[in-house]
Amino acid sequence: MRISKKGLKVLIENYLKESGGGDDDWLGPEPENYGRKLDTIEKPDYSEEYTKYLKILETQKKIIQDEITNDESDQIPEESRNSLNKMIGRIKLVLVKKISNKDPGTFATAFSILHTHENVYEPSIDDISDDDIIAGKENFDAYKQSKFKNPVVLIVPKIFSKKVKEISDEQEARIIAHEVDHVKYAILQTHFKTLNQDQIRNVLRKDLKDSDRNKIADILASEGKYYENYDAAYKNIEPMYRYYLAIFSEENVKEKANIEEIAARIKTLNRLANKDEIIQNFKSGKLNFESAENIDIHVAQLLPFLKKDFKQEEIDKVAINTKIKTKKTNYV
């Protein structure tokens, strides 16, 4: 059926009148938020995610405070343990969309006193914009006002990263504990300048300390157990090889972050409920990088840099050490 131009005009006018419009109102009523300022529009609510990660953070803080109280490394005086526990209690949570443009898969990082030194850590404060923060902005602002008194742990919820989605709940908790360890060691090393320096050098292998990244990868790949080939070794020794080389450099070892990074990784290994099995399998060549990575990425990167004949008592000399038995359920 053909409609004349006059008939089409009548149909359009009738439609506009029925839909609330008129001759001068072709678009009908305005959307509810049309023309409102952006800051008045309701923002997404991330309180559920904040509550979840705050609970995990508080659990890990309590575990680490108990370890500090019962430290048996003989490096930390009792009065210093009490002060350290108070500082651990001050760690606050910040949720962000991303932590670093350079590594979008980063799940968590700690910002504490060592961030006052340039180029010690990646990422830096400048990597975090106000638009990145989705919860806990007041905590991040407080950190910027006083880095020593107001340390924070930044976390990327799984909804913002495909790579983070692959992390299990237990791995999440272990990584958060690792970040609390960073704060712990950063605070300790402002008071004890050589804390863990000799102890860590003692448990690391020495045959790689004069090599560059290419040579280190070549040596580890030639051992033929942990890494499948040179390319796998070259890729996965980053960033651990940098911390390792710095430990044996009299100049770079003064950057305390290198010491505390390895100390935090050793603490993660020592905290694993099945650490004896992991160490035994590594030493016997039954554990490869992929299997270790499924347990913990920080431990996986650490293991090939430990000396082949290291003993548990040597690991235990790295503060903080305690004989409190770690249960799997401690992490979740």
Taking residues 11-22, what's their average pLDDT? 58
Query: Hey, what are 25's tokens?
Result: 């109102």
The string of pLDDT tens digits covering residues 84-113 is 999 999 999 999 998 876 666 789 999 887
What phi, psi does 153 have (nearest 5°)?
-115, 125
Q: What angle do CA 286, 289, 292 make, to 5 degrees?
A: 80
Of 175, 191, 207, the residue at which a domain comes to its end is 191
The string of pLDDT tens digits covering residues 266-322 is 999 999 989 999 999 999 999 999 999 999 999 999 999 999 899 989 998 887 776
**Residues 182, 205 within the same domain:** no
What pLDDT does 71 receive? 87
Total-model pTM: 0.80
- Top-confidence residue, 144 or 75: 144
Query: For 121, which DSSP code?
Result: S
**Residues 20, 56 within the same domain:** no
**Residues 224, 321 within the same domain:** yes
AA identity, residue 77: P
Q: Which residues contact 321 (CB under 8 A, 6 or more apart)?
A: 71, 72, 73, 270
Rounded distance, CA 126 to CA 205, Å? 36
**Residues 22, 67 within the same domain:** no
Taking CA atoms, 177 is separated from 174, 180, 304, in Å, by 5, 5, 22
Of 170, 191, 212, the residue at which a domain comes to its end is 191
Rounded distance, CA 148 to CA 125, Å? 14
* pLDDT above 90 coverage of the chain, percent: 49
- Could you list the residue range(s) of the whole structural domain that residue 304 is in? 197-331
Q: How many helices, marked H, and strands, marked E, lie in the chain?
A: 15, 4
Query: For 250, which DSSP code?
Result: T
Q: Which residues contact 176 (CB under 8 A, 6 or more apart)?
A: 53, 56, 57, 60, 108, 153, 155
**Residues 207, 295 within the same domain:** yes
**Residues 235, 116 within the same domain:** no
Of 137, 162, 191, the residue at which a domain comes to its end is 191
What pLDDT does 117 receive? 46
- Top-confidence residue, 285 or 121: 285
Q: Which residues contact 200 (CB under 8 A, 6 or more apart)?
A: 247, 259, 262, 263, 266, 318
Is the pLDDT at 163 greater than 70, yes or no?
Answer: yes
**Residues 201, 183 within the same domain:** no
Closest to 144 measured CA to CA, from 124, 120, 122: 124
**Residues 264, 179 within the same domain:** no
Q: What angle do CA 237, 56, 184 make, to 5 degrees?
A: 60
Q: How many domains does the chain have?
A: 3
**Residues 296, 221 within the same domain:** yes
Taking residues 167-191, what's their average pLDDT? 90
**Residues 176, 294 within the same domain:** no
**Residues 212, 296 within the same domain:** yes
Terminal C-alpha separation, the chain: 70
**Residues 60, 114 within the same domain:** yes
Confidence band for 12, pLDDT divided at 50, 70 and 90: low
Confidence band for 41, pLDDT divided at 50, 70 and 90: very low
